[in-house]
Chain A
């Protein structure tokens, strides 16, 4: 499907997204016995629209088009329901939590930066390498999946090490992962 066909399918996805968004927003506003049903219906429409996009728009690209179009519908619904507040009135007390205040020792700051940056990156590379070498399947697939693991694991390591107050635990885990994965890779070699 190309050109106008894709545009029409996108319009249908947009309509599905608006419908799902309306169901979910109604569930969010109402706190009665129908709430679970409305929520199920809303998520059901979103999932069904994403799945239906595959046969209509293409096995590979259909769901990705749905991922791009559906959020826009829900965001449009949210924008339409914007609540304008009077700036002269006193703002309500906010329930948001504050970030934790940490002890600001220089060595901890540097270690945290090293863990989130190069050490986390090397550990992620180690896992990717071990995956590429040990996982079953064609070498191209193993390499690409390994390559995709790097940003995911590195990003995860970054989020974790920057959040974990027990910095030495994070250091030990990342160092351990690096040693184990690189050793496992060297032991088997590439085939």
Chain B
């Protein structure tokens, strides 16, 4: 027998790290699980956006004239705005959408056709709910983003301690033992996905923590080095801004601004146009442009209201720091390599969600094996894990069929799923909740197809429909297989009559 390649780690050290790993994992398990689950779904935010509003035709690259027309109509319909945030059609989201940032009241989101004429409201309440759930948990924004960032730090910490708490990392490298000891089964699942997916897990937790903690990091850096002026810190990454001048003026000249882009070094089409104080003399235009197929979302170019450049070249790729900033969110959400990368992100995103779920399951199985079972916590954790595959499709279904607010439905469904922990025993919970989730996942695309029949203009809707249906059927099949496999066992323990 050859010698092990991994240095022998003292068992006292491993046990201490394991204690810390367990404590942190248990304290943040529900939060990490929710953030990982919601993040996995958020990878497909653009596809779900298109599925939720499938009647918008697919549009190609938008010309300056089209963008100008869409901006003018958005302001004409919705009145004066502080900003207009215009996302131009891209291969991922081939439609022109406008966020109208009003000074007071609700901010309308609208969608325009390929000619720049407004089609109507964006109509993606569920996708917006789903994205915000991952970004700030629908809490007050600063706090919510910070809590999600902190969750990223705890996940990163768990990955570090998990690696040190795993002295058999090579010895068990390919073991996946299913059935028999519950603890061994969950530990194999937890360790194999955790270890082999480690580069991805570190990348996701680090970028997530960075995005979530940006406000506090910039705040502290600014407090210490810019006498508390946060804007000075942000100015390092942004092109120059115009001087504020509220006197009325025509809409900023997007067409002229577009014409300057090649000379300024833009090496790809514009993907985003931001109008600051449109209709004022101090208005400005921000354009993000860059080629497809890069990690960066593109460089930033600013112009005054007349469309004249405010700097000689784009900002975003001149330093390593600026390049990292441009890449972080793309890297976090997997929006940099088309459907193949998104699929990989979804699989490994589901993987880290399973790692979180199995971590708690190991702790519960360990307690049971030591003669100290915690049946109430076992039921609560099963209900918590399966609450999301129920709450997500149910909230989408309620939004689709009745226009119900997704957040309220999601919260009620999550609470209802958690309440089942008091009503059913462990075995039944493990069947009923996945079954409910599977059924909802099957009903949702069928209902969607029925509601939008004859009006689907974006073929992406059919792809999403099929994917959701396959997920639902897969879940139902897995419940069926598990139930059938458990049957002989259940029969075996029936008392003889």
Q: Contact residues of A with B, CB < 8 Å?
A: 1-3, 6-7, 10-11, 24-25, 28-29, 31, 35, 39, 57-58, 60-61, 64-65, 67-69, 71-72, 74-75, 77-79, 81-89, 91-92, 94-102, 116, 121, 125, 128-129, 132-133, 137-148, 150-152, 154-156, 158-159, 161-165, 185-186, 189-190
Contact = CB atoms under 8 A, between A and B. Distances in A.
Interface residues of B, number: 96
Interface stretch (B153-161, B258-266, B271-279): B153-161
Among B221, B327, B337, the most chain A Cβ lie within 10 Å of the Cβ of: B337
Interface stretch (B9-17, B113-121, B125-133, B373-381): B9-17
A85 B177 contact: yes
A151 B184 contact: no
A117 B95 CA distance: 43
Given A155-B153, A159-B17, 4 more contacts: A28-B170, A71-B196, A85-B179, A146-B221
B324 A71 contact: no
Interface of B: 1-2, 5, 11-12, 14-24, 91, 149, 152-154, 156-161, 164, 167-168, 170, 173-181, 183-184, 187, 192-193, 196-200, 203, 205-206, 209-210, 213-214, 217-218, 220-221, 224-226, 233, 236-237, 292-296, 319-325, 327, 331, 334, 336-341, 344-345, 347-348, 351, 366, 489, 492
A14 B225 CA distance: 47
A56 B30 CA distance: 40
9 contacts: A31-B1, A64-B331, A67-B200, A128-B217, A128-B221, A132-B221, A141-B320, A146-B217, A162-B21
Contacts of B5: 39
B220 A125 contact: yes
B225 A31 contact: no
Contacts, number: 261
Contact of B19 (A99, A125, A190): A99
A152 B417 CA distance: 35
Task: Output the residue of A58, A94, A97, A116 with the most chain B CB within 10 A.
Answer: A97
Contacts of B153: 121, 151, 154-155, 158
Contacts of B17: 159, 163
Contacts of B154: 155, 158
B341 A97 contact: no
